[in-house]
Amino acid sequence: MPEGDTVFRTARRLDEALAGGTVTRFDLRVPRFATADLTGQTVHGVDPRGKHLLMRIGDSILHSHLRMDGAWFVYRPGEKWRHPAFKVRAIVATAEHEAVGVDIAEIELVPTRDEDDLVGYLGPDPLSAEWDPAEAARRLSADARSIHVALLDQRNVAGFGNEYAAELLFLRGILPTTPATEVDAPALLGLGTRTIRANRDRRNRTFTGVDRPGQGTWVYGRAGRPCRRCGTPIRRGEQGADPTRERITFWCPVCQR
């Protein structure tokens, strides 16, 4: 699942491949921007902001959000794609590399001056050089909703998704239904920062320290299975800001009180 660490690695890979190059092919396969053409423009770089990717080209920003299934792949010119062409939503190529966006649900092209309209609402990002833990804790502590919902709200802190919320709350022993106002936000965010920074350079995300398949999580995706600490069956529920945005939650009723 693409979360802040996945987006960070994607941005780094795209930046290494494209930054400094001149666009030789630009193809957005979405109706709104189908006629856009930045051929001949310079790729200045690719930056992550929480779960958002900002590809800076000329005086424009190509913004993409991976959602659940999206991904960017990098190929050499002429190299065969490993996915069907009908899934491709964006192609940005230079003389040396070709970046191909597959199954990307959200793509926008805006002038660089409008960057704040895209991501200005986001809270502090623990993977950013400008990470502000005090501001993130202030926002999280002021949220009257449950901690699981508050932690997922990108306006409070950018980058944490459902897997991180479930795992961090387990590690801190916090029930996902606990009001965010009752949680030690600095401690929770401190753990979250250390964890997501450790995972940003790993191929396989892990919260247990074990990167073997099926061994990396304490509670996420483990409903009905025994808790790795106490043996109690992991529970599963749903929470959300409203019924249309509910997320599945996982927790141990003994370890999280």
Where in the sequence numbering do the catalytic residues fall? 2-3, 51, 247
3-state secondary structure the chain: CCCHHHHHHHHHHHHHHHCCCECCEEEECCHHHCCCCCCCCEEEEEEEECCEEEEEECCEEEEEECCCCCEEEEECCCCCCCCCHHHEEEEEECCCCEEEEECCCEEEEEEHHHHHHHHCCCCCCCCCCCCCHHHHHHHHHCCCCEHHHHHHCCCCCCCCCHHHHHHHHHHCCCCCCCEHHHCCHHHHHHHHHHHHHHHCCCCCCCCCCCCCCCCCCCCCCCCCCECCCCCCECEEEEECCCHHHCEEEEECCCCCC
| Strand-pair partners of 62 | 55, 109
**Which single residue is written with the structure tokens 């659940």?**
68
Of 60, 53, 47, give the one whose Cα is nearest residue 19.
47
C-alpha–C-alpha distance, residues 48 and 159, integer Å: 10
